[in-house]
Amino acid sequence: MLSLARQPKKMKRTMPKYNYYCKECEEYFELKHSMVDIVEFCVECESNSFTRIPCIPSYITKINKPKESKAGSLVEEYIKKNKEAVKEEKQRLKSKEYKP
């Protein structure tokens, strides 16, 4: 029987899976529980001589975002706008008369 030290609260997310290996019955088992819950007994033989096996979490996934624009396009846009602004400013300053 599985005994948890603390009952998990209702969560909207799924609980992570943890893999265990029992040294007495030599069985592998998988349980879903929160990080703070403590498993006290093996699911198969109810002994307490088991260890948790490190594994890659299944909830980590790569998020593919749609590419709205290619890299550097925003910088190129700003450069283009600033070049136009500098050109307009040069024209404005050229048309001004300065007295020595």
Q: What is the pLDDT of residues 83-100, one digit of tens each?
A: 999 999 998 888 887 777
Q: What is the DSSP letter of 96?
A: S
In terms of Cα–Cα distance, which of 9, 16, 41 is closest to 31?
Answer: 16
The H or E element containing residue 51 is strand 50-53
Please give the pLDDT value at position 79: 92
The alpha carbon of 7 is separated from its chain's Cα centroid by a whole number of angstroms, namely 26
Per-residue pLDDT tens digits for 18-76? 889 999 888 888 888 888 888 888 888 888 888 888 877 655 666 666 666 676 888 88
Please give the pLDDT value at position 64: 66
Per-residue pLDDT tens digits for 6-19? 545 554 566 778 88
